[in-house]
Amino acid sequence: MSSLQHSVNTYLAEHAPHALAFWTEEGSGGDAGIDVLSACDALYTLKLIGCMDLVSPGAHGRFADLLSRTTLAGNLGNGQGPEIGVHQTAYALGVLNLLKAHGISSHREILRKSGWRVQDLVDRKTGRPRWPWYFAHHSWRVGHWIGGIPSIVLSLWRLSPDLAQKNRLPRPRALLARSDALIDNETGLLRAYRAPALQQIFRLLYKLRHDPDAGAIGGVAHLHWGNYAAGRLPYKAAHALFERAWRLLQRRPFMEAQPYCLDFDIVQIARTAMPEGDTRRAELRSRATAYTTDLAEFYGNGLGGSYSLHKLPGGLAALHESAMAANFSHVPGLSIVPVDVAREAHWI
């Protein structure tokens, strides 16, 4: 086990012991007080540090049991309980994608055979994802619906195409194509809002805690994970979007004080939106190389309790994404082939 793997495993054992045990120890699970988000975080983490061999044979059954006490968005699952929403539903289906690729499948136990409420996810008139109107100005948050619903659709067609067809789920590429209407022609960013003046006010308020420019790219990245996974390249207004990501990549070492999914968003957009023939490709590789060094050092030197579990998969995914952008055959600090998480899981 590498020092980075040891560091992350030590963090899980000390700061998320129930989540780690959920996947690695027989006899753990339902009564351990673990929630869906933590379970997903832990599985993604094990995948991204190359430790899927630690997943115990009965873990898929525990995950199915955990989801049986929730209601998936769109009434997709057999469970009954509080609805976990689009973001966590996409995340849980991403776990099923990773487990299936690892030779463990439990989606038949989890997915409802009929009665999916597709109309809760996709607007019948526009054929586009539905989202709460009150998040229209919050690109990062609204991206969880505009990107999360295509992710759900992609996963369902991968996991169970017969049930997807039976429940009249839209085809992923058609849903993604209709979703392009939500991307601004000039900026390449999401434009779910209608009032530019209110958007400017929101940006001023958002700036008190986060960079609105980075958040805006993070928002559209949620949708472009699906476009990338479906092979829908180049993105709409890709050149303008790349230029925005490129400016943000000049920050060092990370987008904010600690790495998390925002770092993955920026690197992934830069790698996948860079125009053909752009003369900065060597510079992108150099910046990505530095990113891998900083990320590997951050995760290899020990993590404290101030670093939240939910940040971990996104930051580790940024390490893999940076390795791909740098054209590395293996991830520094892990010596495993990079995980192309947008294609393998459809969500992060």
Separation CA 326–CA 330 (nearest Å): 10
| Closest C-alpha among 248, 275, 268 to residue 314 | 268
Mean pLDDT of 90-117: 93
| Residue 348 confidence (pLDDT) | 94
With cut-offs at 50, 70 and 90, classify the pLDDT of residue 31. low
pLDDT one-digit tens code per residue, 205-264: 767 777 889 999 999 999 999 999 999 999 999 999 999 999 999 999 999 999 999 999
Separation CA 284–CA 22 (nearest Å): 39
Rounded to two decimals, the pTM is: 0.96
Q: Which residue(s) pair with 158 in the sheet?
A: none
pLDDT one-digit tens code per residue, 46-71: 999 999 999 998 999 999 999 999 99
Could you tell me how far CA 98 lies from the centroid of its own chain? 13
Separation CA 271–CA 274 (nearest Å): 6
Residue 257 burial (C-beta neighbours within 10 Å; 0-12, 13-18, 19+): exposed
Instruction: Specify the amino acid at residue 228.
Output: Y
The b-or-e profile of 197-236 (16+ CB within 10 A means b, else e) is eebeebbeebeeeebbbbbbbbbbbbbbbbbbbbebeebb
Separation CA 55–CA 25 (nearest Å): 8
Separation CA 292–CA 134 (nearest Å): 37
Contact 338, 271 (CB under 8 A): no
Separation CA 244–CA 112 (nearest Å): 42
Share of the chain above pLDDT 70, in %: 97
pLDDT one-digit tens code per residue, 124-170: 999 999 999 988 888 989 999 999 999 999 999 999 999 999 999 99
Please spell the DSSP secondary structure of 10-65, one letter per residue. HHHHHH-HHHHHHHHSTT-SGGG---HHHHHHHHHHHHHTT-GGGS-TTHHHHHHH
Average pLDDT over the chain reads 94
With cut-offs at 50, 70 and 90, classify the pLDDT of residue 200. confident
Separation CA 269–CA 240 (nearest Å): 11
pLDDT one-digit tens code per residue, 284-296: 999 999 999 999 9
Predicted confidence (pLDDT) at residue 32 exceeds the cutoff of 80: no
* Contacts for 53-60: CB closer than 8 Å, 24+ residues apart: 54/23, 54/24, 55/23, 55/24, 55/99, 55/102, 55/104, 56/23, 56/24, 56/25, 56/26, 57/26, 58/26, 59/22, 59/23, 59/24, 59/104, 60/99, 60/104, 60/105, 60/106
| Residue 205 confidence (pLDDT) | 72
Predicted confidence (pLDDT) at residue 29 exceeds the cutoff of 60: no
